[in-house]
Structures are given as structure tokens and as C-alpha cells.
Amino acid sequence: MDLKTAALLCDPITKEALELTETGGKQFLRNRRSGRRYPVRDGIPVFVNAGELAGRNRQFRRLYDTVAIFYDVQSHIYAILSRQNLRRLRSGFLAELECRAGDRVLEVSVGTGLNLPLLPAGIDFYGLDLSWGMLEKCRRNLRRWGREAELFCAEGENLPFRDESFDVVFQLGGLNFFNDKEKAIREMIRVAKPGTRLLISDENEKQIRELYHKIPILGRRLWSHRDGLGPQLELIPKEMLETTVRDHGDGRFYTLTFRKPA
């Protein structure tokens, strides 16, 4: 980890400054006031351990760690079963972003990184996920694609970044199953620069009802948590501008966009 990246980070709980230190040949990010240290594991800062998680976040981290090695293959099967061109759908979602070369871009719930090849070249890409297994798979994909990104292991509800750090912030898939959706949305707003257009996209109930029970392991687990689905506009702070909801894929998916006031 370099000092430029470390300068963007903060303690995810207290939002206090962190400093990059090294002990015994291992890097850590240390909260100067409290003394708490967060390890940098194979170049990826780790801001949450499995034992510190609760509720759905704990359950889904365990699940995604288990399925990470074959997640991309399962995504292909998912596309066949749903009769959807998921790459085309994701491209359509991402087209609603205002993303240009030179932008600092944050994807929350980066997974195995499948959205990065659909974004413009020349961006500074930062990907965050709760699952260490998914981040490892993402790193292997990055090497295969010849792309670079900074990766972080943390909860979406407690982002480890300073206020107003990113030109682009988005989250595709996963918000349906967060512990605290409203807090995660407020965190994405906090780390976005003023004037940023944010994007959230996920599956509507139709997609989950008609498909998930057909997918082994992952789908059945998600099917059991199908409450509170779809674009919940009440979670978007009223001061946000240009709030828009669109359905995609015959109503199976939605995109929710809004702009942080300048």
C-alpha cells in the first residue's frame, strides 16, 4: 500500500485519521488517537474481521467466501437461467454514471470485479467488499485483464474513506441484503464529492421470485431473505437532487440514481 492511497483512508467507525505503519515486516493502518490497528493483508487493508460481524453481514460474508471460487461461473449460469444478457444490462446500468478518465471511482460490493471492464479506461478504481474470498478472486481477474485497482475489505455501512473523496460512487447488486441499507446509502453519500451523481442497482422482487430458488446454494440462501426488496426511495435523504428510478430487464432489475448537492 502506498502513501497516496493511505491518505484517503480513515477509521471506518470513528472517521478519525489513520497512518500507515510497519511492524515486523507487516503493514498496518493505525488510528493515532485510539491506537487501534487495521492490518494490510497482501496489499488489501482489512477493516473488519469475521468475528466482528453480525446479522446478515456475517451470514453473507461466510456465504460469499464459500462461493467465490466459482462465482463467475455461477453468474454465467444465472444469465442463462434468467435469459438475460447480464453484461449488456450492467453496461446499461453503468451508462447512467458520469464517469470519465481521470476520475476517482468507488464501487461498493465490488465482488469479483466484473463491472470494471465496462468502465472507461484511465480511471482510478477503488473496490470494496465484505468478502475476502471475493476480493481474492477479483485480484486474480484484475491480473488476467491487465487492469489495476485498489481493493478494501470492509462493510458498506462503515466505509473507511475520508469525506468527499470520490468523483463517482456506485453499488450494483447486494444492497437488498445489507444489515442497514439506509446507513450504507448515507456512507456512499458522505464519501462522494459535492455534485456527484450516485447509482444503486439491484434486483426487483420479480427476479428473485422467479429465479433464485432454481440456483443451488447461493440462490436458495438469497431467496430466504427476500423482504424489503426493490428501490426504497424513503431511504434517500430528501436533500438529494434529481432522484430517478428506472426498471430494466422487463422489470427484473432497477437503477436508482440521485445527485449530491454541490
Residues 92 and 216 in one domain: yes
Q: Is 146:177 a contact under the CB 8 Å cutoff?
A: no
Residues 30 and 68 in one domain: no
Predicted confidence at residue 206, as pLDDT, reads 73
Question: Largest alpha-carbon pair distance within the chain?
Answer: 55
Residues 176 and 76 in one domain: yes
Residues 103 and 217 in one domain: yes
Q: What CATH code is carried by the domain that includes residue 148?
A: 3.40.50.150
Examine the fold and report which residue of 46, 61, 76 is the final residue of a domain before the chain moves on: 46
Q: Is 216:228 a contact under the CB 8 Å cutoff?
A: no
Residues 183 and 212 in one domain: yes
- Residue 29's DSSP bridge partners are 20, 38
Predicted confidence at residue 210, as pLDDT, reads 66
For every one of its 262 residues, what pLDDT tens digit does the chain have, with 9 covering 90 and above?
788 899 999 999 999 999 999 988 899 999 999 999 999 999 999 999 877 888 888 888 988 898 899 888 877 776 776 677 778 888 999 999 999 999 999 999 999 999 999 999 999 999 999 999 999 999 999 999 999 999 999 999 999 999 999 999 999 988 888 899 999 999 999 999 999 999 999 887 776 666 665 555 555 555 555 555 678 899 999 999 999 999 887 778 899 999 999 9
Residues 157 and 175 in one domain: yes
Which regions of the chain does DSSP assign to beta strands (E)? 18-23, 26-31, 37-41, 44-45, 104-108, 124-129, 150-153, 168-172, 197-203, 241-248, 253-259
Examine the fold and report which residue of 10, 25, 46 is the final residue of a domain before the chain moves on: 46
Neighbours of 122 (CB within 10 A): 9
- If one counts the domains in the chain, the total is 2
Distance from C-alpha of 163 to C-alpha of 123, rounded to nearest angstrom: 19
Alpha-helical (H) ranges within 21-163 are 55-67, 71-82, 86-94, 132-145
Residues 20 and 85 in one domain: no
Examine the fold and report which residue of 10, 27, 46 is the final residue of a domain before the chain moves on: 46
Residues 31 and 76 in one domain: no
Q: Is 157:136 a contact under the CB 8 Å cutoff?
A: no
Across 95-112, b (16+ Cβ under 10 Å) vs e yields: ebbebeeebbbbbbbbbb
- Could you give phi then psi for residue 256, rounded to 5 degrees? -125, 120
- The domain of 149 spans 47-259
Residues 135 and 188 in one domain: yes
Q: Quickly tell me which residue has 446499461 as its cell.
A: 92
Nearest alpha-carbon partner for 156 in 91, 107, 194, 114: 107
* pTM score, whole prediction: 0.91
Residues 145 and 20 in one domain: no
Nearest alpha-carbon partner for 228 in 205, 206, 247, 211: 205
Residues 217 and 152 in one domain: yes
Residues 139 and 25 in one domain: no
